[in-house]
Structure 1
Amino acid sequence: MIATRSRLLLALVASALATPALADEVQVAVAANFSAPLKAIGERFAQDTGHHLLISSGATGQLYTQIKNGAPFAVFLSADDSTPAKLEAEGAAVKASRFTYAIGTLALWSPKAGYVDGEGAVLKQNTFSHLAVANPKTAPYGLAATQTLAKLGLTEAVAAKRVEGQNITQAYQFVATGNAELGFVALSQIYQDGQVKEGSAWIVPAALYEPIRQDAVLLEKGKDQAAAKALLAYLKGPQAAAVLKAYGYRQ
């Protein structure tokens, strides 16, 4: 009888060790440009830890407003480094939890093959009718696009042709649906496994805009959540790094 009970106890212990402890859900606010990579990372994260992600994406500025208004997010993956720092200073994020999880790349893209050349000459030719850009006030990739146009001396030349999306996803959709012939997008939206998935693109030189340092931070609502902390640790690991590289990000 004692031996039987011992074997049962050992079996229960082995089962517990084989199952991820306290598997939970993590509510994540993520900048629109990183939603697809995060979904890919989330699948690996779930397999490795048992935790699952509940993802809400949007423009960084909009997500900031939601967080300040009490949205139940545990982790924030921004498209810049200033917004997480601001949340930290305001007491809405856990101090010393912030780090750069990715460095984004801006691209000029058209779904039409051969339309955008490798030097972005189509901008100076200015024969297009519409140029999609994300809102520079709320979307860091939109700010990078306006900085690029300014560096190229094209701000006034294309001003009447700009169509503005609320975030980088909407800017991409303007181009993808043909409402704009071309537009500035996040490279991650058009890039996979080391190449542009369709159409033609110019990868904008980093010297034309300020670095898009995308910071992650643990929010106050997630400070006691083991799953939230596990996600932040996972973003620093090799599994996440492989996904970042596939989508054209740097670390």
Structure 2
Amino acid sequence: MKVRFFRFLLAISAGVAACSAFAGEVQVAVAANFTAPVQVIAANFEKDTGNKVVASFGSTGQFYAQIKNGAPFEVFLSADDTTPAKLDTEGLTVPGSRFTYAIGALALWSAKDGYVDANGDVLKQNAFKHLAIANPKTAPYGLAATQALDKLGLTQAVASKIVEGQNISQTQQFVATGNAELGFVALSQIYKNGKITGGSAWIVPESLHEPIKQDAVILNKGKDNPAAKAFVDYLKGPKAAEVIKSFGYKL
């Protein structure tokens, strides 16, 4: 009986070892707006497949420069569709791997309850001291913010009040800490399961800026890594889709 039990334990150990041997790791560059969703998705991915996601967060423009300079990223989750397309044309991606994983929404947000009205008229009233936006040259949500201000005819009126974050995470922090009364952020940063998680916000109409299509792509450094393809496939699946939608993105 003891011999059988010992063999049983050995079989279990061998199975665990085999699973560990097949488990992999993937280096993923993630646009800052997608920080919260990818953390949930990565945890589910590791639980379901045994593969681990090592994520780095930052602005799309900064990641583009790093990828061009040989950064070890294997998958890139961009905040736009133009940067991955550019990497495609430059031969830095696995052909055919690019797809749109989410369509983002822009929000005008204040950490103060009731400060932002349902129509965003607080912008026109122009009684605030600081308005935070992400750097429009490197962050697609910052570019969308400048497009919205242009459409509203407010670019000149608020120019002296703008404080610029290096990426959308820093922009959100400017508002969260009160260093700016208002800021244009990604809806996903302040939204979960159908509601704003704190403060007050106006979801900027899509007609005021170009669509924020967010594309993912496997980079050349990930072409021979099964975990890279597995993660991208998982991102396309129903479990990830539920997470993405819960943060206010469209698919």
TM over 0.5: yes
Structure 2 segments unaligned to the other structure (5+ residues) = none
1:108 aligns to 2:108 (yes or no): yes
Counterparts of 1:45 and 1:228, CA distance in 2: 12
Counterparts of 1:229 and 1:20, CA distance in 2: 18
Divergent runs of 4+, >6 A: none
Pairwise CA distance, 1:34: 0.5
Is the 1:26–1:74 contact (alpha carbons within 8 Å) kept by the matching residues of 2? Answer: yes
Counterparts of 2:153 and 2:190, CA distance in 1: 26
Pairwise CA distance, 1:159: 0.4
Using structure 2 for the length normalisation, give the TM-score: 0.93
Query: Judging changes above 3 Å, is the alpha-carbon distance between structure 1 residues 156 and 238 closer, same or farther for their aligned structure 2 residues?
Result: same
Letter in 2 for 1:62: Q
Task: Give the corresponding residue for 1:81.
Answer: 81
Counterparts of 1:13 and 1:28, CA distance in 2: 31
Counterparts of 1:224 and 1:35, CA distance in 2: 26
Using structure 1 for the length normalisation, give the TM-score: 0.93
Is the 1:79–1:214 contact (alpha carbons within 8 Å) kept by the matching residues of 2? Answer: yes
Is the 1:133–1:142 contact (alpha carbons within 8 Å) kept by the matching residues of 2? Answer: yes
Query: Judging changes above 3 Å, is the alpha-carbon distance between structure 1 residues 19 and 116 closer, same or farther for their aligned structure 2 residues?
Result: same
Pairwise CA distance, 1:15: 2.8
Identity of aligned residues (%): 68
Task: Give the corresponding residue for 1:245.
Answer: 245
* 1:178-217 → structure 2 map (5 Å cutoff): 178-217=178-217
Is the 1:20–1:49 contact (alpha carbons within 8 Å) kept by the matching residues of 2? Answer: no
Structure 1 segments unaligned to the other structure (5+ residues) = none
SS across alignment from 1:175: helix
Query: Judging changes above 3 Å, is the alpha-carbon distance between structure 1 residues 224 and 112 closer, same or farther for their aligned structure 2 residues?
Result: same
SS across alignment from 1:87: helix
For the aligned residue pairs, the C-alpha RMSD in angstroms reads 1.9
1:41 aligns to 2:41 (yes or no): yes
Pairwise CA distance, 1:127: 0.3
SS across alignment from 1:19: helix
Task: Give the corresponding residue for 1:169.
Answer: 169
Counterparts of 2:177 and 2:114, CA distance in 1: 18
Task: Give the corresponding residue for 2:142.
Answer: 142
Pairwise CA distance, 1:54: 0.6
